[in-house]
Structure formats: structure tokens, C-alpha cells
Amino acid sequence: MSAGELSDQAWDKVKPPATMNRRQLEGTNIAMLVLTSVVFVSRVVVRLVRRKRFELHDLFCILSYVFYVCMWVMYHYENDPLYRAEGMQRGEIPPYPEISE
């Protein structure tokens, strides 16, 4: 499902509009993490091979990579409850047992 198709979805009172499936979302997230890691590691390797000193902008790059990986991990763990809640709204899976008590 493309972004254009997602934006054209209308909310129905019976069930929510279709969204990107979980497999596609996780595949995109993993691809972006791999791409970011390749760029970051290649940058560090070039710095080490050319024997250049690390500077302030290198520190910012390292920090941004660490923060990106932390954000990716938190987002990855947050997907399961979000897709479970959506599946429950659609009636595809039963609600949590604690809710019915």
C-alpha cells in the first residue's frame, strides 16, 4: 500500500481504515537501520584509515547514530501493542483478557 493510498482511506464507523502491514513496516525499518549503519561505519573507517583526529562534528555524528538506534529499538518494541490494538479494533483478534474482567 503506497502513501497515497493510505491518505485516501476514509475512517469507517465499523472498522478503521487499512494501514501498512507489520511485515512491510518492519522491513522498511530494518532497511533504514542497515543503511544508516553502513554510512556510519564507513565514515568511522575512513577516519581511522586516513589517521585523522576525531573532531566535534564526529562526536555529533556518533551521538546522532546512538540516538537513532535507541529510537529504532523503542519504536520496534512499540509496534506490537499498536498492531494488537488495531487488530482488536478491527475485530480480527480478541481483546486482552484483563479488559473483559
**How high is the mean pLDDT of the chain?**
79
DSSP state of 79: H
pLDDT averages per 10-residue partition of the chain, 101 residues? 61 62 83 92 88 85 92 84 75 71 57
Radius of gyration of the chain, Cα coordinates, nearest whole angstrom: 20
- Look up the pTM and report it: 0.63
pLDDT of residue 99: 66
Residues 99 and 51: their CA atoms lie apart, in Å, by 60
H helices present in the chain, as ranges:
3-7, 22-49, 56-90, 97-100
pLDDT score of 34? 94
pLDDT at 16: 58
Give residue 1's pLDDT. Answer: 55
